[in-house]
Chains A and B, each alone.
Chain A
């Protein structure tokens, strides 16, 4: 006999799966509506088209290790014979699940991620060998406690809240070394220096490709929309790495041909925008799509689901575990510009440099309501940008579609104002 609670849960499961599939389909429809998308993007459209069909499946049959923030070294997980999957979710359907048991004021990423793990627990069950949670922001930390309550094997990866001192650096290096040892227990596989070296090289290739793609965005002739870039990087969360690399290689090749033949993806005069703040993660590509529907093009970004995730690569000096683990630790902390760190002035500097390198004319600052660190950093970023003479539009939003009308009016006005600025110049 099923209890009422069980029945209710089953109903929620069913409804969520349905809403999720619809939500994914709707985002894909918006993404593909733009004319002349690169052929190589089809790989990514298909990947996401299949993701939510017949329930949200895990991407692999191997042991999955969920990661809750970008600071978890994927290299170690691969070297231990498991597959990392970034759990941060962009799905409104999952956010709705999380909203049932989480404070209304918590941020949509945390709500959606917790909701996703809650509703899929029976489905994914044993396959998730661990959920690794770096101690980044308070909401993620508390979310870890909730997941533990649910019965997930949560692994707390202790991370300092500042990165400037040597003390913080060594503390984090020790955390990563401990994680290396613990991963071997979790997976039952030994991490050898040889395996780790190979994986580091594979992941460096991912970074190298991402940088190439990002360099193509510098082109004066616009070659690729930001909405597609965010889809490519969202795919990085879940895709098999070798196929992801292959697909990105093809995309780069295609865009190189476009560049040589001076083919533009959109109006050459499209205002060049940069997106920073809370991460756009599929299916929530609401803001990037709005910006580009309004005639802008996102040529650069500074978010943890894209540039911050993929720009950096590990540099070890000696090929032994001791040095490589420390090198991994440095790679995931030192260049990080997550607002959970203080001070976070590197973010200001990075933005200023991106504005220069990608000839950015306007910045969209996306803050998910409930994400206080991003909301609070808005002021200092806007000061830096105004010094650089670049206008910024601050958008507080979430995963719902309720604010679409209001957002699109503001985005359109912002883009018009940039065009007007140009005429004045």
Chain B
């Protein structure tokens, strides 16, 4: 029995997680964008950028609901609306807690599109761009600012901050207005309407214009820089608040780490700590998307492990590493 389990483990650790992820992402994409055709719907509290503006979707992003709920005057949180807010939040947490940031690496349709653009660029043998580490450290803060704004701006609609006048309802879902998910994802079901510039009011015009700009930056940026948008993603920031409670984890055994940096090289979001952090066992950082590429590239036995409820489900091995690298050469 033990031997069978051992062989099974070994077979799993020898596989290419990236290939599995490629197909999983494609399946998630189909489900989240076209799930409606099969009458599938995972609800509106998903911890990932499945867009509510896209029909016939199979579920949608919690940030829309969250922003919307924030427009309520504070006093009404104590009434039935507060319960609605709480239920929505708990549903989000329930989804998130199980898969942690793997939502980003395996399910997010915007993430998947970025990975497709990366694959396209790599096929043309065009080199990628990278940030210098200090730039990375500065830019990564933007997502927290966006997260704060997407909560505070809607709040200023139903409430007055410091006696200032309330904002108008055009700012109800400010982040959605600039999110490339709103403009791009509906395209996959033939809906081009989100690309229109809304001239019905000044604020709407500004927001939709910004949205188009961000869309352009999203497409060109993620063509030359892997997972370009994820560094700024407020969902990623929101995730990170709860990541320590998640059941799916990435852990590192520092004693086994030679700091060879393979993991850091492979990391699409450029997390340096994965190679150089020798203190923390739980190594999921705020930009991590749990794609597992670091585990694939780590040549040290059991140094990096993906664990679910403390049980290792995929871990780095020398055998797996050499197999995958050899496979890459054979596939040439």
A interface, CB within 8 angstroms of B: 164, 166, 169-170, 193-194, 197-198, 200-201, 204-205, 207-208, 211, 311-320, 322-323, 326-327, 330-331, 334-335, 346, 349-350, 352-353, 356
Report the Cα distance A194→B265, complex, angstroms.
20
Report the Cα distance A315→B299, complex, angstroms.
9
B128 touches A323 (CB 8 A): yes
B interface, CB within 8 angstroms of A: 122, 125, 127-128, 132-133, 255-262, 265-266, 272, 275-276, 278, 293, 297, 299, 318, 321-322, 325-326, 328-329, 332
B122 touches A318 (CB 8 A): yes
Chain B residues positioned under 8 Å from A164 (CB to CB): 276
Chain A residues positioned under 8 Å from B326 (CB to CB): 201, 204-205
Which of A204, A207, A315, A350 has the largest number of chain B CB atoms within 10 A? A315
B255 touches A317 (CB 8 A): no
B322 touches A322 (CB 8 A): no
Chain A residues positioned under 8 Å from B122 (CB to CB): 318-320
A194 touches B332 (CB 8 A): yes
Q: How far is the CB of A245 from chain B (nearest CB, A)?
A: 13
A193 touches B125 (CB 8 A): yes
| Majority secondary structure, B binding face | helix
Out of A320, A350, A356, which one reaches B127, CB within 8 Å?
Answer: A320
Q: How far is the CB of A377 from chain B (nearest CB, A)?
A: 17
24 contacts between A and B (CB under 8 A): A194-B332, A197-B328, A197-B332, A200-B329, A204-B325, A208-B318, A311-B258, A312-B299, A313-B299, A315-B262, A315-B297, A316-B265, A317-B265, A319-B122, A326-B265, A327-B265, A331-B260, A334-B260, A335-B259, A335-B261, A346-B258, A349-B255, A350-B258, A356-B255
Chain B residues positioned under 8 Å from A356 (CB to CB): 255
Chain B residues positioned under 8 Å from A193 (CB to CB): 125
Chain A residues positioned under 8 Å from B318 (CB to CB): 208, 211
Nearest opposing residue in chain A for B260, CB measure: A335
Chain A residues positioned under 8 Å from B257 (CB to CB): 349
B260 touches A312 (CB 8 A): yes
B260 touches A318 (CB 8 A): no
Chain A residues positioned under 8 Å from B272 (CB to CB): 166
A323 touches B261 (CB 8 A): no
Report the Cα distance A327→B297, complex, angstroms.
12
Out of A201, A312, A322, which one reaches B329, CB within 8 Å?
Answer: A201
Report the Cα distance A213→B326, complex, angstroms.
19
A319 touches B322 (CB 8 A): no
